[in-house]
């Protein structure tokens, strides 16, 4: 027994005629007759009395009719509620992400939410990946975009892209060239590094090179603004993605040199709590974030990034 059979059965009860019921259901009378016979076989009882001018439901048929109408009504109500719920997405949601991600998709994300989800209140919480990860674990944000999140058993994550890190700085520090530079040679330059943890996980296979780079770092920061200030003042170079300093690169103030041996790459992942109850709002925002990240890579706005196929 399925909902199609029940709909056919109800139509025959209402029209008391196979041909008229078949026209109503947009199917053949033979198909309706087959389904009615299948129901009678399954329920081991006659549901209709066949008469020359039509079909009359038996007592068992009338009992099934009452149940069938209730079942079909419940299905229609459930479908309507889900459709209306999809159309009327509402509520508050907080999403954490680093400055570089906000720079690429933040504006488009806010614009889309304002235009397409007027009953949603969005909070974008900026923070380094390590800080954002802690905020997610503490329940301060429902979802987060995090570079190289630490492994745990309490969160679920979806890898979105891989992003290459470059040696970036003024020409008088990194040289007037865009040729690759080895990581060990970068350690001989004045360097400013972010204390975020994602860099160490990007270079997890080469801890010695990372240790030397960190040991020689002239400035250590826990601030994107501070890092940008050090670059713009010509105090140091840094290891960063191109999107972080796209304006300085396009204006010629800064130079980005690929780093080799090893090539530092970090992975951006969409992370949420594993035990979080699914909601339409969270699913819609996740889909929107994934769409914007993918679009920004494909149209070249996220330079130095490669989408991960899921």
Domains of the chain: 3-87 (1.10.10.10), 91-160+267-307 (3.40.190.10), 166-263 (3.40.190.290)
- In sequence order, the β-bridge partners of residue 258 are 166
Tell me the CA distances in angstroms from 91 to 87, 117, 128, 203, one per residue in order.
13, 10, 26, 40
Which has more pLDDT, 209 or 116?
A: 116
Distance of CA 37 to the CA centre of its chain: 48
Percentage of the chain lying above the pLDDT 70 cut: 91
- Per-residue confidence (pLDDT) for residue 285, from 0 to 100: 94
Does residue 204 surpass a pLDDT of 80?
Answer: no
- Record the pTM: 0.71
pLDDT by residue (tens digit) across 151-203? 889 999 999 999 999 999 999 999 999 999 998 898 889 988 876 555 555 55
Q: Return the pLDDT at 280.
A: 86
- Answer whether residue 137 shows pLDDT above 80: yes
DSSP 47-86: -EEEETTEEEE-HHHHHHHHHHHHHHHHHHHHHHHHHHHH
The pLDDT value given to residue 87: 58
Q: How far is CA 67 from CA 61, 63, 155, 220, in A?
A: 10, 7, 44, 71
pLDDT tens string 161-170: 999 999 999 9
Rounded-to-integer distance, Cα 299 and Cα 288, Å: 16
Give the 3-state secondary structure of residue 196.
Answer: coil
The mean pLDDT of the chain is 87
Calculate mean pLDDT across residues 51-57. Answer: 86
Q: What is the pLDDT of residues 87-103, one digit of tens each?
A: 578 889 999 999 999 99
Position 308 scores a pLDDT of: 93
Q: How many CB atoms lie within 10 A of CB 190?
A: 17
> Which band of pLDDT confidence, cut at 50, 70 and 90, is reported for residue 297?
very high
Tell me, what's the pLDDT at 309? 77
- What was the pLDDT predicted at 255? 95
Q: What are the tens digits of pLDDT across the range 225-276?
A: 888 888 989 999 998 899 999 989 988 989 999 999 888 888 999 999 988 8
């Amino acid at each position: 027994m399925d909902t199609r059979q029940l709909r056919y059965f109800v139509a025959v009860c209402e029209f008391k005629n196979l041909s008229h019921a078949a026209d109503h259901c947009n199917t053949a009378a033979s198909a309706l007759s087959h389904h009615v016979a299948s129901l009678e076989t399954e329920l081991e009882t006659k549901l209709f009395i066949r008469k020359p001018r039509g079909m009359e439901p038996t007592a068992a048929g009338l009992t099934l009719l009452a149940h069938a109408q209730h079942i079909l009504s419940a299905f229609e109500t459930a479908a309507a509620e889900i459709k209306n719920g999809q159309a009327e997405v509402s509520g508050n949601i907080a999403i954490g992400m680093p400055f570089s991600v906000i720079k690429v998709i933040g504006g488009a994300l806010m614009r889309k939410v304002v235009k397409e989800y007027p009953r949603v209140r969005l909070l974008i919480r900026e923070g380094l990946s390590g800080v954002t990860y802690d905020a997610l674990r503490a329940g301060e944000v429902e979802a987060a975009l995090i570079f190289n999140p630490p492994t745990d058993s309490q969160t679920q994550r979806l890898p979105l892209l891989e992003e290459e890190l470059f040696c970036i700085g003024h020409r008088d520090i990194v040289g007037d060239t865009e040729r690759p530079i080895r990581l060990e040679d970068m350690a001989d330059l004045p360097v400013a590094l972010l204390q975020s943890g994602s860099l160490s996980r990007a270079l997890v296979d080469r801890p010695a090179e990372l240790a030397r780079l960190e040991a020689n770092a002239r400035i250590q920061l826990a601030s994107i603004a501070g890092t940008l200030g050090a670059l713009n003042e010509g105090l140091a170079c840094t290891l960063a993605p191109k999107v972080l300093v796209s304006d300085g690169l396009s204006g010629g103030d800064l130079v980005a040199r690929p780093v080799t041996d090893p090539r530092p790459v970090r992975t951006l992942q969409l992370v949420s709590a594993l035990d979080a109850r699914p909601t339409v709002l969270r699913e819609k925002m996740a889909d929107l974030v994934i769409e914007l990240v993918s679009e920004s890579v494909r149209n070249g706005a996220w330079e130095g990034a490669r989408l991960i196929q899921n």
